[in-house]
Amino acid sequence: MNKALLVVLVFVAVVFLFGGALFLIGASVAADYAVGGVMLAVALVLLVVVWRLQAKSPTVVQQTFNVQMSGSGKMEQNRMGCRSCGAPLEEKDIKVVQGGLMVTCPYCKAVYALEEAPKW
C-alpha cells in the first residue's frame, strides 16, 4: 500500500477524532452528541483500516552473501581402530544401546562407548 495514502488516512482519522471529542465536550443538544459520536466512529473505522492495511503489506529484506569455500573437496574414509589394542573395527562391531553407540572389539573383547570428536 502506498505510504502517502496511509499518512493521509491517519491524518483524517486524527482530525475526526479531535473534532468528535470537541463536539462531545461542547455539546448542548442531542444533535451535537450525534455529530460527535459519528465523528469518533469514523475516526475509529479509519484507524482500523490503516492498521489492517499496514499489517498486510509485506516487509522486503534483501541480503548479500559472499561465501568462500576452501579445501580440496575430496572425502576420505577413516578407519576406526580399537582404543585398547588398535585393531581395525567394522560396522558389525558397533551397536546402538539406549541411544548411544557401543563398540565391542572382536580381538581383545573391549567394550566402550563410541564418542565422535568435535568437528571444529
- How does pLDDT run across 48-73, given as a tens digit for each residue? 888 777 776 677 888 888 877 776 66
Is the pLDDT at 86 greater than 80, yes or no?
A: yes
pTM of whole model > 0.85? no
Closest CA to 101 of 115, 91, 89, 90: 115
CA-CA distance, 97 to 15, in Å (whole number)? 73
Q: Which amino acid is at 24?
A: L
Is the pLDDT at 1 greater than 70, yes or no?
A: no
For residue 119, the model assigns a pLDDT of 64
Domain ranges of the chain: 3-56, 82-120
Cell numbers found for residue 8: 493521509
Whether the Cβ atoms of residue 55 and residue 18 lie closer than 8 Å to each other: no
